[in-house]
Structure 1
Amino acid sequence: MTTAFQRHLARLHRFEDWVLTFLVVFMVLLAGAQILLRNVFDSGFAWAEPVLRALVLWSAMLGAVIATREDQHIGLDFIGRFVSGVKLRVARFIALTFAAVLCALMAWHSWGLVQLDREGGTDGVLGVPAWVLELILPVGFGLMALRFLIRSLLPPKTHEALPVASP
């Protein structure tokens, strides 16, 4: 890889990390404020619950994308105990390609959900349509599919586990 490409990739990774950090911190602060307002003042923000649900969705998907990037997703490493060399590379290729296909299918079907909610005009929260809040699903699954596919074509890192079928 060229150094310019590596720099851009490193920026993308930092951006992903910062977005996830911001979302989680905001989610914790909003949930804490909501708990405090309810228990102390018998009050609260009417919009907080649907915003928190959207934040959980976005945080979970971004966390899964980052876990895939860092090879920290759920994996199976017992196959490496029984096979090595070419057989291990073939098993790794099959497992990673399978995970990529599953993620691609999830991206495809979640895009259908986004389109359905877009056409139906489903309400979201705070004036943001539901389809905008759901965009993380096809984007996240698409990024995971791409990362699994790329990793399936690259040589394995030491002690790399095989992914479980479901992302």
Structure 2
Amino acid sequence: MDRFSKYLLTGLIGIVALGQFVQVVTRYVLQVPVMGLEETMLYPTLWLYMLGAVNASRENTHIRANVLEIFLKTDRQHTILAIVGEIISLIVGLWLLSWAWDFTQYSWRVWKESPTLYIPTFFSNVALVIGLGLMMLYTAWHLWGHVRTLTGAAR
């Protein structure tokens, strides 16, 4: 899974960078804009954004502002703080996931298309529910690890 995500994210970064390069060359050098390129680039960009967040969740490397850690002295206190943070993240994330699921159902039902190339927007909208679902799985996994550490089961 780790290798697959590396290749997928690298491929998406390459696609987005290539699209932006083509856009700059055609628009500013050749003075001929490519119609629909921005619309096409929306799809890999959204997937890259969501899968990058999933990767940060999987690696547990999200940017955090843990100011309270400065005042905590013991590893047990740090673990309890991590558990509280994971629980709050899980509650908020599951709430957002329910909204994303409703939005995905709406997107499936309406089946809107992009204005220029008529690409179904469902394929970009579904990235939100898949990304949030995977992030919630990894958040629950990290919560489980913190609880095991706190109870001493991880030794």
Q: TM-score, normalised by structure 1?
A: 0.78
- Residue 109 of structure 1 corresponds to 99
Query: Cα RMSD between the aligned structures?
Result: 1.9
Shift, 1:87, TM fit: 2.9
Whether the 8 Å contact between 1:123 and 1:129 is mirrored in structure 2 is yes
Whether the 8 Å contact between 1:68 and 1:147 is mirrored in structure 2 is yes
- Residue 153 of structure 2 corresponds to none
Q: Could you list the runs of 4 or more consecutive aligned residues of structure 1 that deviate by over 3 angstroms after TM superposition? A: 124-128
**Cα displacement string for residues 92-124 of structure 1 (whole angstroms, at most 9, x for unaligned residues):** 111012112222222221121121122112103
Shift, 1:52, TM fit: 1.7
Residue among 25, 48, 65 paired with 2:14: 25
- Residue 143 of structure 1 corresponds to 134
Give matches, 1:1-167, under 5 Å: 12-83=1-72, 84-124=74-114, 126-155=117-146
1:89 alignment partner AA: T
Secondary structure of the residue that 1:143 maps to in structure 2?
A: helix
Between the aligned partners of 1:104 and 1:51, the Cα distance in structure 2 is: 30
Secondary structure of the residue that 1:135 maps to in structure 2?
A: helix
1:119 alignment partner AA: R
Query: Which 5+ residue runs of structure 2 have no aligned equivalent?
Result: 148-155
Whether the 8 Å contact between 2:12 and 2:44 is mirrored in structure 1 is yes
Aligned length: 145
Between the aligned partners of 1:56 and 1:136, the Cα distance in structure 2 is: 10
Q: Which stretch has the larger CA shift, 90-99 or 117-126?
A: 117-126
Q: TM-score, normalised by structure 2?
A: 0.83
Shift, 1:27, TM fit: 0.7
Shift, 1:56, TM fit: 2.0
Between the aligned partners of 2:118 and 2:7, the Cα distance in structure 1 is: 25
Query: Which 5+ residue runs of structure 1 have no aligned equivalent?
Result: 1-11, 157-167
**Cα displacement string for residues 25-53 of structure 1 (whole angstroms, at most 9, x for unaligned residues):** 11111111111111222223212111222
